[in-house]
């Protein structure tokens, strides 16, 4: 079965990568691609249409799933439109506040919604092992450093926050310390969190565990945005036919 994909934010960095990734996937095709400012542009031969027409495009083009890498406000609007049209929604957008996450969860009551801060399979592997590392090294200091390009809006990154959640679930931690300045001796139970923004770095996350005169570093580097797009397209193919509900990229990897 051919998976019919709608793409939002199609003229952005990730939107372009998603269109290319769909083209590389034998079982997928782009049935529409939208942008807030289409300006008659095409991406890899796909005509970019106005995001204002999303409601009618969902009905007329009958996508299997929509892939979204935009911003929190836009993603929530697209998710609601997909819920109304009975179309699955896959988003890698990060930076949602609590109300926006609640709106996404509301959409998942009507259709399948898959939200992941990172669609790299290597990051999923990192998430799988970081908790075990924390359990095996009780009492060790933990620091997390993430680096992204200078245009990334949210900090810490969505992936960093997901890693922090996994770390906290597997150890005795009481607070997150974001950066340090002046006299700040380390407190027991804190996790140091550092967000770097520079150049055109695609994405790097490192978890440092140190104690007992040793250190363990767990690092993931994404060398090309295409890895995120390919994972999102895999998620769109997987979510076809899934019942309404909230899903994670781990569900895709598990099968």
Q: Scan for tokens 């697209």, then name that residue.
A: 78
88 close to 247: Cβ distance less than 8 angstroms: no
101 three-state secondary structure: helix
Check residue 184 and give its pLDDT.
87
Instruction: Please check the confidence at residue 40 and state whether its pLDDT lies above 90.
Output: no
40 close to 50: Cβ distance less than 8 angstroms: no
What's the rounded mean pLDDT across residues 68-73?
96
Beta bridge partners of 209: 142, 216
Q: Which residue numbers are catalytic? A: 148, 152
Tens digits of residue pLDDT in 75-131: 999 999 999 999 999 999 999 999 999 999 999 999 999 999 999 999 999 999 999
What's the rounded mean pLDDT across residues 224-252?
95
- Go through 67-92 and write b for each residue having 16 or more CB atoms within 10 A of its CB, e for each that does not: bbbbbbebbbbbbbbbbebebbbbbb
**Whole-structure pTM value:** 0.87
Question: Can you spell out the DSSP letters for 2-37?
Answer: PEEEEESSTTSHHHHHHHHHHHH-TTEEEEEEEESS
Q: What are 41-50's contacts with CB under 8 Å, separation 24+?
A: 41/11, 43/10, 43/11, 43/15, 43/16, 43/19, 44/16, 44/19, 44/20, 46/7, 46/10, 46/19, 48/10, 48/11
Check residue 255 and give its pLDDT.
73
- Could you tell me which of 129, 133, 122, 126 has the C-alpha nearest to residue 214? 133
What's the rounded mean pLDDT across residues 135-139?
96
Check residue 228 and give its pLDDT.
96
Check residue 67 and give its pLDDT.
98
């Amino acid at each position: 079965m051919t998976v019919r994909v709608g793409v939002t934010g199609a003229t952005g960095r990730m939107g372009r990568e998603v269109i290319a990734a769909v083209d590389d996937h034998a079982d997928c095709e782009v049935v529409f691609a939208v942008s807030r400012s289409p300006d008659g542009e095409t991406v890899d031969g796909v005509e970019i249409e106005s995001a204002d027409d999303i409601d009618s495009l969902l009905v007329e083009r009958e996508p299997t799933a929509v892939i979204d890498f935009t911003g929190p406000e836009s993603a929530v609007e697209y998710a609601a439109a997909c819920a109304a049209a009975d179309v699955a929604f896959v988003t890698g957008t990060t930076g949602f506040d609590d109300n926006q996450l609640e709106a996404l969860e509301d959409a998942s009551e009507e259709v399948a919604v898959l939200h992941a801060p990172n669609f790299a399979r290597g990051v999923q592997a990192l998430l799988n092992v970081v908790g075990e590392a924390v359990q095996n090294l009780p009492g060790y200091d933990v620091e997390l450093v993430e680096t992204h390009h200078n245009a990334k809006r949210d900090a810490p990154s969505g992936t960093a926050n997901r890693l922090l959640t996994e770390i906290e679930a597997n150890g005795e931690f009481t607070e997150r310390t974001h950066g340090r300045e002046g006299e700040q001796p380390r407190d027991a139970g804190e996790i140091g969190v550092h967000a770097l923004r520079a150049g055109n770095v695609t994405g790097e996350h490192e978890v440092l565990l140190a104690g007992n005169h040793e250190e363990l570093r767990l690092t993931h580097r994404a060398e090309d945005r295409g890895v995120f797009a390919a994972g999102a397209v895999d998620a769109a193919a997987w979510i076809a036919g899934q019942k309404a509900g909230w899903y994670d990229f781990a569900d895709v990897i598990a099968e």
